[in-house]
Structure 1
Amino acid sequence: MISSSSFTIISKCTVFPEQKSSLGLLKLSVSDLPMLSCHYIQKGLFYTRPPLPIDSLLSLLKRGLSKTLIYFPALAGRLTTDDDGFVYIACNDAGVDFLHANAAHLTIRDILSPVHVPDSVKEFFAFDRTISYDGHFMPIAAVQVTELADGIFIGCTVNHAVADGTSFWNFFNAFAEVCRGVNKLTRPPDFRRNFVNGSLAVLRFPEGGPQITFSSDVPLSERIFHFSREAILKLKSRANKWVDNRLTVEVEILGKQSNDGWKPQSDNNQNPNGKITSVIGSWLRNAVSNSQVTETADQTVEVSSFQSLCAQLWRSVTRARKLPPSKPTTFRMAVNCRLRIEPKVDPYYFGNAIQSIPTIASAGEILSGNLRACALLLHGNVIAYNDAAVRRVVEDWEKNPRCFPLGNSDGAMLTMGSSPRFPMYDNDFGWGRPLAVRSGRANKFDGKISAFPGREGGGSVDLEVCLAPETMEGLEKDSEFMQYVS
């Protein structure tokens, strides 16, 4: 029994697949290998107290997990590296960890009601700060069930070199389906190694394995910002109103000058400031003529709801960081490449089929324009990310194999992970939908953002935002951002 203050690990065991696997070895792809230096994924869900005794609940979950592992044999395996340096998942039925913990001194409200996410959530997950490379000698996955005073938390931890967010939540969904008695999975995983497969590149590691590429000891402030459907629609509407910012600003300047201390002059019609009015009219005609092509192009582009939200976050965090105008800033977005590559792979391909799109602009550029200008930068990069772009990233990596550089190396980066499209609230184990999503300590640094769907659905979004405390304080005072938060 392991105890930390009033938090106690009551039991721990290994759950094995109900049937032996015949899958054998699965080679890690060029999208899996860079994740070996990342922490295991840690995501979990709060539930009201189930209508059955805790021993019965644990038995139900263990049986369900054992059956689910039949369909997800990779999670019950271990990593192995051959003599040539290629890394594989050995689907050897070694099993996953299952832990039962008690935190009965806490209520669900104790966790969800504070403005900032309390540190106690970090204890609801196994394998804290574990690097994915460690899957060579420890389980690839773990499930921890934590009892609270008025509910439970089910936390899943999965090796990030084995699964991305799509694969993680597909497993979680399947686990819930099996536990509530579904006989056939809604979305069976696809274990064919057909996503950028066949690479001969080898990722070499120092003795003892790789290390994470950021400091996990830096103080962070973490908060969940909720955006209702109505707020998201307002943001999208604002981002899709075409405004020639240069035109607006310069007309305002000229208009101000026409009413300032210029010496009045009359035209032939005895109109004071006639020359100024003429200048404005001439300038407007030229400006409209010169910007006609840009206006037409911009008006045809619709920025998505999520891109609008990301653009607003980028602007507000950049402002809160008080960066010099010339400072380059980066907004990274994780993109699912399953349907971007040709030929397309199965939507439930199991593994990492993601890449990170960096959009770079100076702090001055981000803040001097309007929301649409910022959103168009993100939109353009996402739209352009096609099969050729995916393969260019693969080719570049093969020339210089390396771990993914997660972190905020220059103090001006934001990294968006997860997705509001993930079916997080579909995880009904038999006694109702979850109440809330939370994550562990894994892969968090100043500027790490995770997007979750809002529980009410309909396009609502929750952003889990991790920032330096002083930056978080600035963001919370940013009226442009906070007007959309509920």
Structure 2
Amino acid sequence: MSSSPSITRISECFVKPPHDHLSPEEKQPIHFTPFEMLALNLNYSQKGLLFAKPPKNQDFSITTFLDDLRRSLSATLTHFYPFAARLATRKQQNPPSYVIYIDPENSPGVKFVYATVNATVSDILTPADVPLVVHSFFDLNKAINHDGHTLPLLSIQVTELVDGIFIGGSVNHLIADGTSFWHFMAAWSEIFRSKKDPNRASISHPPVHRRCDGSDSDPIINLPYTHHDQFIERFELPLVDKERFFHFSSTSVSKLKSKANSECNTDKISSLQAVIALIWRCVTRVRRLPPENQTSCRLMVSNRRKMNPPLSDYYLGSPVQVVIATATVEDLMAHGLGWAALRLHETVSNHDHSKVKEMVEGWNRRPVIYKMSQMVEGWNGIHVGSSPRFDMYGCEFGLGKAVAARSGGMNKGEGKITMYPGREGGGSMDVELCLGSELMMDIECDEELISALMIN
């Protein structure tokens, strides 16, 4: 691979549902909850899958494959129709009102891009660090969620490599979190593989469209603004030098979980909490911060099962919240893995329906749109997104199991952690870590991390 292979865009189009299928109810505006409104200034979420091309002795045509992708995508949008729409803002002076919503009747479609790159699957997977070209496998770079007024809420880019195919999705966080995005991808893959008539294509798990925020009422949010310039900020996080994947085998994960629970004489700590606790300790160690400094671990938590009654796993939206575990550097380093994992467990466990309701009702009383610059100022910690529980590798599109899952360059800063399931399953995990060059060199030599990674 050349030092900086470049993407060549071959074509782009917009994909709509196969016909004007919306019922009068489905044509109604879709209003957001506070969970989604808080993300107006965030970038689009970018996740995708890398596949090996079928062997040359198989009858594979990229033209036919793209046609089948577009046809099945159109059928999938029958069920996920908000993805084809755009945002809208309704303003009025008397009484003052500023409401942002999804307008299903304004439905230009999902953007579909076909591109090529002179790189191989090995070029992407072999280097220690994720090659920068991977960021070019995604569309809508630098777009923020508020841009969904004019930009597509979902853009799919299919990039053909020399011996592989990458299918990358850039999705507006106001319409989907990771759970909803991978639900959509699974439904698309299911329809693709079924080869059914797009007009009659059904899916195993249809999305639930009615928005819910867990409060006693279902208010339409009136923002305290008259123009988007009053709350929109295009803040770019400082470019992170290195993105690297660390693979934890199912045995390694199991032993970390057992170690964490044993140290705390409990059985409540999850595998995910044990792995994140390890990364939190290792990153904090190589930063060499003063012992009295505070360090934090921010976790993106889905509120679906936190609410009472719980939301469906197929609820379409982004009902997520950040919960934060904190500790002094001295405490985090002086105590063991179990102590850190238990902090995470308690933080997640204490985030229950009453906490969700308290946040929603407080925000509804005084709505405010956060700015990224305010969120990262003076922060020492890690921020964890995505989940190894997402069935990424179940999305096959007729190409067999993906060889890897990757993310784009958006919403990444120093200390960003992205979690993935390991390709072999069985509870294995992949952790994508973003750090500066010197810190990444140091963490490669961290004994606690090395000993965990060497367990097969």
Regarding TM over 0.5, the answer is: yes
Q: Is contact 2:280-2:381 (8 Å) kept? A: no
Distance 2:403 2:314 in 1: 25
Could you say what secondary structure the match of 1:174 adopts?
helix
Distance 2:208 2:241 in 1: 37
- Aligned mate of 1:60, from 58, 62, 68: 68
**Which piece of structure 1 moves more, 407-416 or 347-356?**
407-416
Q: Deviations over 1:409-459 (max 9, x none)?
A: 224121111000001001011231111000111111111111000000000
Paired amino acid for 2:246:
F
Alignment match, 1:141: 154
Could you say what secondary structure the match of 1:75 adopts?
helix
Q: Deviations over 1:319-356 (max 9, x none)?
A: 11111111111101111111111122211110011111
Q: Is contact 1:329-1:363 (8 Å) kept? A: yes
- Please identify the structure whose Cα radius of gyration is greater: 1
- Evaluate the alpha carbon distance shift between residue 217 and residue 377 of structure 1 in structure 2; reply closer, same or farther with a 3 A threshold: closer
- Aligned mate of 2:81, from 52, 73, 85: 73
Q: Is contact 1:31-1:355 (8 Å) kept? A: yes
Normalised by the size of structure 2, how large is the TM-score?
A: 0.90
Whether 2:94 is the aligned partner of 1:94: answer no
Alignment match, 1:29: 33
- How far has the Cα of 1:404 moved from its partner? 4.6
- Aligned mate of 2:286, from 320, 326, 330: 320
Paired amino acid for 1:36:
L
- Evaluate the alpha carbon distance shift between residue 211 and residue 75 of structure 1 in structure 2; reply closer, same or farther with a 3 A threshold: same
- How far has the Cα of 1:399 moved from its partner? 3.9
Distance 1:222 1:302 in 2: 31
Q: Deviations over 1:382-407 (max 9, x none)?
A: 11211001112223323442335555
Distance 2:112 2:448 in 1: 45
Alignment match, 1:468: 436
- Aligned mate of 1:403, from 369, 383, 387: 369
- Evaluate the alpha carbon distance shift between residue 399 and residue 446 of structure 1 in structure 2; reply closer, same or farther with a 3 A threshold: farther
Q: Is contact 1:39-1:212 (8 Å) kept? A: no
- Aligned mate of 1:210, from 232, 240, 243: 232
Q: Is contact 2:31-2:220 (8 Å) kept? A: no
- Evaluate the alpha carbon distance shift between residue 123 and residue 300 of structure 1 in structure 2; reply closer, same or farther with a 3 A threshold: closer
Could you say what secondary structure the match of 2:88 adopts?
strand
Paired amino acid for 1:199:
P
Could you say what secondary structure the match of 1:240 adopts?
helix
CA RMSD of aligned residues (A): 1.8
Could you say what secondary structure the match of 2:13 adopts?
strand
Could you say what secondary structure the match of 2:309 adopts?
coil
Q: Deviations over 1:40-80 (max 9, x none)?
A: 11111011114421111110011011111111010000000
Paired amino acid for 1:70:
T
Could you say what secondary structure the match of 2:413 adopts?
coil
**Which piece of structure 1 moves more, 173-182 or 413-422?**
173-182
Q: Is contact 1:164-1:352 (8 Å) kept? A: yes
Alignment match, 1:415: 383
**Which piece of structure 1 moves more, 181-190 or 67-76?**
181-190
- How far has the Cα of 1:362 moved from its partner? 0.8
Q: Is contact 1:408-1:414 (8 Å) kept? A: no
Q: Deviations over 1:152-205 (max 9, x none)?
A: 001111111111111111111111111111643122110012233623543346
Q: Is contact 1:30-1:199 (8 Å) kept? A: no
Paired amino acid for 1:471:
L
Paired amino acid for 1:232:
V
Distance 1:228 1:172 in 2: 25
Q: Which consecutive unaligned segments of at least 5 residues does structure 2 have?
A: 92-96
Distance 1:68 1:200 in 2: 28
- Evaluate the alpha carbon distance shift between residue 310 and residue 155 of structure 1 in structure 2; reply closer, same or farther with a 3 A threshold: same
Alignment match, 2:94: none
- Aligned mate of 1:425, from 393, 403, 406: 393
Q: Is contact 1:80-1:136 (8 Å) kept? A: yes
Q: How many residues align?
A: 426
Normalised by the size of structure 1, how large is the TM-score?
A: 0.84
- Aligned mate of 2:325, from 359, 368, 387: 359
Q: Deviations over 1:232-282 (max 9, x none)?
A: 11111211223xxxxxxxxxxxxxxxxxxxxxxxxxxxxxxxxxxxxxxxx
Alignment match, 1:47: 51
Distance 2:74 2:220 in 1: 35
- How far has the Cα of 1:301 moved from its partner? 4.5
- Aligned mate of 2:447, from 479, 483, 486: 479
- How far has the Cα of 1:138 moved from its partner? 1.4
Q: Is contact 1:321-1:471 (8 Å) kept? A: yes
Q: Deviations over 1:118-148 (max 9, x none)?
A: 1000110110111010000111111111010
Q: Is contact 1:426-1:433 (8 Å) kept? A: yes
Paired amino acid for 1:46:
L
What is the identity percentage for the equivalent residue pairs of Structure 1 and Structure 2? 38
- Evaluate the alpha carbon distance shift between residue 391 and residue 424 of structure 1 in structure 2; reply closer, same or farther with a 3 A threshold: same
